[in-house]
A and B are shown apart, each in its own frame.
Chain A
Amino acid sequence: MTVRGTLTTVLTEEFDVDGEVTDHATLDDLGLDSISVVELLDTLSKRLNIPLADDDMNKQTTIATALEILTTRSEAAD
């Protein structure tokens, strides 16, 4: 699955995000609080098998930025 596919699946299936996950939406817009963002980082780190720090994302991070972070880390891990 692509990085985008994984992120969308995790958000909709595990973080109860309904509606469209658009690039300009922030995690806050999608209903995540600060604590859920750390949980999201844990989940993505396991799914994508990449290292992520607790402060790599926050509520104000947009989907576009999140994808950029995840893609960069995935490429570095390959």
Chain B
Amino acid sequence: MTAVLTGATGFVGSRLCAELLRRTDRDLVCFVRAGTEAEATERVRATLRKQDPDVADSPRLRGIPGDVTAGLPDEVPGVTDVYHCAASVNMGAAYEELVAVNVGGTRNVVRYARAAGAPRLHHVSTLAVFLNGTAAGLRSVDETTVATSMTVGPIGYPRSKYEAELAAMDAGDVAVTVYRPGLVLADSRDGACPEDDFVARLYGAVTMTGCYPVALSNIPVVAADHAAAQIVALSLKESGVGQAFHISAPELLPARELFTQAVRHGYRLREVTADEWIAALRDHSPDRRALAMRLLRTATNILGLTPETAVPDVTCAATTRAIPEIASPAMDEPYFGRLLNTLARRGTIPQPVGGRR
């Protein structure tokens, strides 16, 4: 049996790759942007060596050059499951910049899965499809709630991922399961996190301005390794076909806690109104950290800068019911400490001035 994975060198995809090698005995073919098969395989192994060395040299792993936007290589024989995790997750990009990878890429993967006769497609989406849910009249969201163009709202990233979900569901005989992670945060094992994602930009901006906005959302967050463990565990169940699963820690994170954790870690930050924070970002422009934050229109929703834009409360009851055995790591002070240490070590944020380290 063989599984196919796209996005294997990405932040979530690489952890999904490791988890598939660890939890199954299948061969795993990864479509990677590369010139040759050797280069494709080495790119995946190099990524795994940094975070999952136990499976990095698995003989069951094979990279094949392939780009979701440019068509995929000939069908691999005996594919049972296609995992589609490749996407542009740039929340600051315009819809026009994301549509080719996120929507066109998904259409190509669906076409591939159908041509390969794969029985199952596992599509990694995002809970951002409910980003605008409050304005659309939703108080709370569970796995039976239907995402619509209203719950998605106008911002490029959620729009493109919503259309990608629709494209994934249109897969004919292929049985599709959709996984919607919340805001993906650092790996719980070592605090590894992306260099330029929403969270890195947010901490870059608040440590620069010395203040953070009053934030009303309760955010579904998930550690990257936990997201991968949940997706793989769910994908190995027979049930779940035609269904969406929410991939999140069981408890929502009050948005304010993103900031109070930084204060506990020794950063001197004060809470200001949303308007004052936006003014502070303008005052600090053209510093690129301020400009980068201003690009993130999703912050209005993710943080909840007004009651109308705050995200609806999301539950993940279907996921918890299906895989009670997968425990969430604690999203606590040591966890955020590791995340902040990674950002400080990299120079994304300064070292804290006081408090605990």
Contacts and interface: CB of A to CB of B under 8 A. Distances in A.
A38 B97 contact: no
B7 to A, nearest CB: 21
Nearest to A54: B294
B140 interface: no
A28 B10 CA distance: 24
A38 B92 CA distance: 11
B286 A59 contact: no
A2 B282 CA distance: 26
16 contacts: A34-B90, A35-B288, A35-B291, A35-B292, A38-B295, A39-B285, A39-B291, A42-B282, A42-B285, A42-B286, A54-B295, A58-B93, A59-B93, A59-B94, A60-B94, A60-B96
Interface in A24-78: 34-35, 38-39, 42, 54-55, 58-60
Interface residues on B, range: 10 to 19
Contacts of B286: 39, 42
B297 interface: yes
A55 B92 CA distance: 10
Nearest to A39: B286
Contact of B297 (A39, A42, A54, A59): A54
B292 A60 contact: no
A38 B294 contact: yes
A55 B285 contact: no
Contacts of B282: 42
A60 B285 CA distance: 22
Contacts of A38: 285, 291, 294-295
Interface of B: 90, 92-94, 96-97, 282, 285-286, 288, 291-292, 294-295, 297
Contacts of A55: 94, 297
Given A38-B285, A39-B285, A58 B294 contact: no
A45 to B, nearest CB: 10
Contacts of A39: 285-286, 291
A35 B93 CA distance: 10
B103 to A, nearest CB: 15
A60 B294 contact: no
Nearest to A59: B97
A34 B285 contact: no
A34 B93 contact: yes
Contacts of A34: 90, 92-93, 97, 295
A60 B97 CA distance: 7
A39 B92 CA distance: 14
Contacts of B292: 35
Nearest to A43: B286
Given A34-B90, A34-B97, 8 more contacts: A35-B295, A38-B285, A54-B297, A55-B94, A58-B93, A58-B97, A59-B93, A60-B96
A58 B94 contact: yes
A54 B295 CA distance: 7
A28 to B, nearest CB: 8
Contacts of A42: 282, 285-286
Contacts of B94: 55, 58-60
B191 to A, nearest CB: 26
Most chain B CB inside 10 Å of its own CB: which residue of A34, A39, A54 = A54
A55 B94 CA distance: 9
Nearest to B92: A34
Contacts of A59: 93-94, 97
A60 B99 CA distance: 12
Contacts of B92: 34
B161 to A, nearest CB: 18
Contacts of A35: 288, 291-292, 295
B135 to A, nearest CB: 17
Contacts of B97: 34, 58-60
A42 to B, nearest CB: 6
A38 B297 CA distance: 12
B202 to A, nearest CB: 15
